[in-house]
């Protein structure tokens, strides 16, 4: 009997959800918009476009090393713009991204056998220049000056000129362990907003409980002998299906839609599908469990429309969804480690970027499932208290 009632209630929940256009829009369209906007906006964050930035050169030295420096820098960064009459004002307004100034003693100091003294090259940047671009420019500038000095000293003491022979990059080999993919904005944002979207079911469930409490549906079901556990289960199970559709939609957006919009595509090649399914299932249990617990606490539509979304945004901010955990201060990284959203995000990144096996993502999946179980038990207690009032 209880099973028949459960099936009937689940059917009812699906019908209510399908009629609620606003809930469907928030559950499916909002995460898609976030993925598209954030992925396109942060497309170059993992490969800063160092070439093509507007800059100016002021060369006060007429020596050969200064000429060679200019030649190589232009080859690396493209042609400079003319030096404006008020360079610092141009930087302040963003007309130039940076200025490189070569001092009059540049050639003499670089070719001198003694330890160089005094600043010979100045880099002055736009205050709004991204830190990644600033550091990349700084590193490239230092490396080029080091190469020129090494070549000048070799020429001075041996009489052999090997232009380009002292290039530092010839001594260094860099590679990222390749699994056929490399981190991109899409591969970071799809998992992040997928997690955020799955936890957003709290708003829909809370509004539904408030509505049924106001129209007496919850009381009538209790009078008919439907237990609180069955009522909660009938509301939670449909949203497990909703979460599965959300996950499929978010992944599809990353794979097929983002390349059409000019972004990078999400790659699922080589991933362990068992790991992905396990993690998504645990994540869905955690999201629905928390949503049911919060919904059992909420009493009005105003509370449903504010408490759930605010809590989700706070969890996203702390959990690495809005700001990657890797760039947070150490204290914030520790705090983020206690966020269920972070467990889900770290697990998804491990699956998508490192091709983690089910055993490797078991800690995150176990934490999510345990969190979901605790929230479900709390939801039953809170729901019983709510319906007994």
Name the residue range of residue 224's domain: 2-45+182-388
Give CA–CA dist 267/346, Å, rounded. 17
- Number of structural domains, the chain? 2
Question: What pLDDT, in 10s, does the model give residues 88-122?
Answer: 888 888 889 899 999 999 988 888 888 777 888 99
Q: How far is CA 370 from CA 60, 63, 350, in A?
A: 67, 70, 20
Q: CA 143, 149, 152 angle in degrees (round to 5)? A: 140
Is residue 187 one of the residues assigned to a domain? yes
Q: What is the CATH number of the domain that holds 122?
A: 3.40.1710
Indicate if 13 and 79 belong to the same structural domain.
no
Any idea which of 210-224, 256-270, 325-339 has the lowest mean pLDDT?
A: 210-224
237, pLDDT greater than 80:
yes
Indicate if 86 and 229 belong to the same structural domain.
no
Indicate if 217 and 352 belong to the same structural domain.
yes
Q: Which two tokens stand for residue 153?
A: 């000293």
281, pLDDT greater than 90:
yes
Average model confidence (pLDDT) for the chain? 83
What is the average per-residue pLDDT within 10-37? 78
Indicate if 325 and 204 belong to the same structural domain.
yes
What is the average per-residue pLDDT within 129-134? 79
- Regarding beta strands 55-59 and 121-125, do their DSSP bridges make them parallel or antiparallel, or are they unpaired? unpaired
Indicate if 304 and 267 belong to the same structural domain.
yes
pLDDT of residue 169: 53
Domain end: 122, 137, 171, which one? 171
DSSP-derived secondary structure for 175-198: ----SS----HHHHHHHHHHHHHH
pLDDT of residue 168: 56
Question: Helix, strand, or coil here: 220?
Answer: helix
Question: What pLDDT, in 10s, does the model give residues 66-88?
Answer: 999 999 999 888 899 998 888 88
Give CA–CA dist 136/370, Å, rounded. 44
Out of 28-32, 182-186, 271-275, the most confident range is: 271-275
Indicate if 62 and 38 belong to the same structural domain.
no
Indicate if 106 and 198 belong to the same structural domain.
no
Indicate if 307 and 350 belong to the same structural domain.
yes
More confident residue, 161 or 32: 32
Question: What pLDDT, in 10s, does the model give residues 200-215?
Answer: 888 888 888 888 877 7
Is residue 339 one of the residues assigned to a domain? yes
Indicate if 292 and 148 belong to the same structural domain.
no
> 105 near 118, Cβ under 8 Å?
yes
Indicate if 92 and 138 belong to the same structural domain.
yes
Residue 126: what are its φ and ψ, rounded to 5°? -55, 130
Furthest-apart CA atoms within the chain: distance in Å: 101
pLDDT of residue 361: 93
251, pLDDT greater than 70:
yes
Question: Helix, strand, or coil here: 381?
Answer: helix
Any idea which of 10-19, 41-50, 330-339 has the lowest mean pLDDT?
A: 41-50
DSSP 255: I
172, pLDDT greater than 60:
no
What is the average per-residue pLDDT within 8-25? 77
pLDDT of residue 180: 47
Indicate if 221 and 343 belong to the same structural domain.
yes
| Environment class of 227 (CB within 10 Å of its CB; exposed 0-12, middle 13-18, buried 19+) | middle
264, pLDDT greater than 80:
no
| Environment class of 10 (CB within 10 Å of its CB; exposed 0-12, middle 13-18, buried 19+) | middle
Indicate if 336 and 191 belong to the same structural domain.
yes
Domain end: 139, 171, 203, which one? 171
165, pLDDT greater than 80:
no
What is the average per-residue pLDDT within 179-184? 56
Question: What pLDDT, in 10s, does the model give residues 311-355?
Answer: 888 888 888 888 778 778 888 888 888 999 999 999 998 898 888
């Amino acid at each position: 009997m209880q099973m028949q009632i459960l099936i009937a209630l689940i059917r009812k929940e699906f019908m209510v959800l399908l009629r609620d256009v606003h809930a469907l829009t928030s559950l499916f369209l909002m995460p898609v918009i976030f993925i598209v906007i954030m992925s396109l906006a942060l497309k170059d964050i993992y490969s800063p476009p160092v070439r093509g930035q507007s800059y100016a050169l002021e060369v006060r030295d007429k020596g050969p090393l200064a000429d060679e420096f200019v030649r190589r820098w232009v080859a690396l960064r493209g042609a400079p713009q003319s030096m404006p009459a008020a360079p610092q004002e141009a930087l302040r307004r963003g007309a130039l991204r940076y200025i490189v100034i070569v001092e009059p003693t540049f050639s003499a100091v670089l070719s001198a056998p003694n330890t160089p003294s005094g600043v010979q090259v100045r880099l002055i940047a736009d205050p709004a220049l991204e830190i990644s671009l600033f550091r990349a420019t700084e590193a490239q500038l230092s490396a080029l000056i080091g190469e020129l000095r090494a070549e000048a000293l070799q020429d001075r003491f041996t009489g052999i000129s090997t232009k380009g022979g002292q290039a530092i990059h010839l001594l260094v080999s860099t590679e990222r362990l390749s699994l056929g993919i490399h981190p991109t904005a899409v591969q970071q944002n799809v998992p992040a907003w997928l997690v955020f979207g799955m936890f957003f079911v709290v708003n829909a469930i809370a509004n539904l409980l408030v509505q049924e409490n106001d129209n007496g549906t919850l009381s009538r079901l209790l009078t008919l002998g439907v237990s609180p556990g069955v009522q909660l289960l009938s509301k939670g199970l449909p949203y497990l299906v909703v979460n599965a559709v959300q996950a499929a939609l978010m992944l599809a957006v990353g794979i097929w839609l983002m390349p059409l919009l000019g972004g990078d595509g999400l790659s699922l090649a080589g991933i362990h599908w068992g790991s992905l399914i396990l993690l998504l299932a645990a994540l869905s249990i955690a999201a629905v469990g928390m949503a049911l617990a919060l919904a059992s606490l909420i009493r009005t539509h105003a509370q449903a429309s504010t408490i759930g979304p605010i809590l989700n945004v706070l969890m996203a901010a702390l959990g690495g969804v809005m700001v990657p955990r890797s760039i947070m201060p150490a204290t914030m990284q520790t705090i983020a480690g206690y966020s269920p959203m972070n467990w889900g995000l770290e697990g998804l990144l491990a699956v998508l970027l490192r091709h983690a096996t089910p055993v490797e993502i078991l800690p995150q999946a176990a934490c999510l499932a345990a969190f979901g179980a605790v929230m479900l038990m709390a939801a039953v207690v809170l729901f019983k208290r709510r319906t007994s009032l």
